[in-house]
Chains A and B, each alone.
Chain A
Amino acid sequence: SQTIHQWPATLVQPVGSPLSLECTVEGTSNPNLYWYRQAAGRGLQLLFYSVGIGQISSEVPQNLSASRPQDRQFILSSKKLLLSDSGFYLCAWSAGTSNQPQHFGDGTRLSIL
């Protein structure tokens, strides 16, 4: 069966520090991969998605970037964190057809001080 892993579960970082969040998927090949941010009371905001290695699409211009160095690895990064980057970050994967749901990781709670 397929599983998705995200780490770390929680992270506290100072303003201006770099960021790297990692997501890996097991048990499937060539998944679509997604990064979301969930701010308190504001629902889910799609940040990036990828349909293949090295293919990244950005939904919202911001202080973050994403990379997909391997088929089942998706990384969210920042060179200098802002206070506004605080939130709950979720990674998800799906098969590449419209009738398949997205499956989510357990998330990373990021607090910027």
Chain B
Amino acid sequence: AQSVTQLGSHVSVSEGALVLLRCNYSSSVPPYLFWYVQYPNQGLQLLLKYTTGATLVKGINGFEAEFKKSETSFHLTKPSAHMSDAAEYFCAVSRNSGGSNYKLTFGKGTLLTVNP
């Protein structure tokens, strides 16, 4: 069974500071990993994904994440926070539920607050 743990349900940073959102996963097979962002009253938007190849993945809005197999982690970072980054962030791992159907297992989310 696969699972995702996001450490910290709420992270607060100052504008211009480093953003670090933590995600650890468990998977019995090589994982496919995703980060999504959700703004209030909107759907989830894909930030970035790791499938194979380069372990440092760059996404939209200046975010990136590094897949570390030895640590079973996929932490999301951004060098300098902007007020517009305030949102909820979800980490997810893909799992096969049979045939061609693949489900995502989501973490519980981390709410990012950016202070001026």
Contact = CB atoms under 8 A, between A and B. Distances in A.
Tell me the interface secondary structure of chain A in the complex. strand
B96 interface: yes
B84 interface: no
A106 interface: yes
Contacts of A90: 43-44
A100 B49 CA distance: 9
Of A42, A44, A96, A104, most B-chain CB atoms within 10 Å: A44
B32 A51 contact: no
A1 interface: no
Interface stretch (B16-24, B62-70, B75-83, B98-106): B98-106
B28 interface: no
A111 interface: no
Nearest to A90: B43
A49 B103 CA distance: 9
A100 B41 CA distance: 24
Given A98-B96, A99-B32, A106 B42 contact: yes
Given A49-B103, A88-B41, A99-B51, 17 more contacts: A32-B100, A34-B103, A43-B107, A43-B108, A46-B103, A49-B101, A51-B100, A57-B101, A96-B102, A97-B100, A98-B95, A101-B49, A104-B36, A104-B44, A106-B43, A107-B42, A107-B43
19 contacts: A42-B108, A43-B90, A43-B109, A46-B103, A49-B103, A51-B100, A90-B43, A90-B44, A96-B100, A96-B101, A97-B100, A97-B102, A98-B102, A99-B94, A100-B102, A101-B46, A101-B49, A101-B104, A105-B43
